[in-house]
A and B are shown apart, each in its own frame.
Chain A
Amino acid sequence: EADIYQTPRYLVIGTGKKITLECSQTMGHDKMYWYQQDPGMELHLIHYSYGVNSTEKGDLSSESTVSRIRTEHFPLTLESARPSHTSQYLCASSVGGNHRNEQYFGPGTRLTVT
């Protein structure tokens, strides 16, 4: 099983609150990713990082922001949560960023904004 962790696993929060979803991995992977997944739908890449101090936006536009100050840590922040942000957020990492390298996924955070 992959050594990649996400907290909290479930979060119910009111509109307008600031939230941070935590993701950490102990595999020493350079590349990290955040995906958004709605029920019955495919995963969409919202952020990725090649390494420390590197962050890029993914295919799906997101109001969230990310930071990569340490190799093992890749938190995602929503400054003002809205009901439209309700979704499952999956963090992943890979040892390299090219097409051959497997991405290992965390267990996900299910976010509900009321």
Chain B
Amino acid sequence: KNQVEQSPQSLIILEGKNCTLQCNYTVSPFSNLRWYKQDTGRGPVSLTIMTFSENTKSNGRYTATLDADTKQSSLHITASQLSDSASYICVVSDRGSTLGRLYFGRGTQLTVWP
């Protein structure tokens, strides 16, 4: 069964600190993995996308890593800001789907305190 598991479920950090969010998946055959940021009451917005051959991708203070062998990904946030408070969702797409079906994790709810 294709699944995406994220940890931790929630996280509180102080402004300026770094943090790392984890994603494990069983989706096969694997196509790509995206990290989305979803602000409260808004739709998800893509932060990074990685295919099978990529093991790291950066977008400003966000750096995502991918280990396709162990089927794990992480999202590292550097020098956190109050605006980073949001849910971070790991989304995996499989190559076998002509639709481009996406498998969503439940997200990690990050809260940044001043």
B100 touches A105 (CB 8 A): no
Q: Are A108 and B43 in contact (CB under 8 A)?
A: yes
Interface residue tally for chain A (C-beta within 8 Å): 29
* Cβ-based interface call for B45 (8 A): yes
Complex: chain A residue closest to B102, CB-CB: A103
User: With A42-B107, A97-B99 as given contacts, are A102 and B34 in contact (CB-CB < 8 Å)?
Assistant: yes
Chain A interface, >50% SS class: loop
CB distance from B17 to the nearest CB of A (A): 24
Residue of B nearest to A31 (CB): B100
Inter-chain contact B105/A99, CB cutoff 8 Å: no
| Sampled A-B contacts (13; CB under 8 Å) | A31-B100, A40-B9, A40-B109, A41-B106, A94-B100, A97-B98, A98-B99, A99-B93, A102-B34, A102-B49, A105-B44, A105-B45, A108-B43
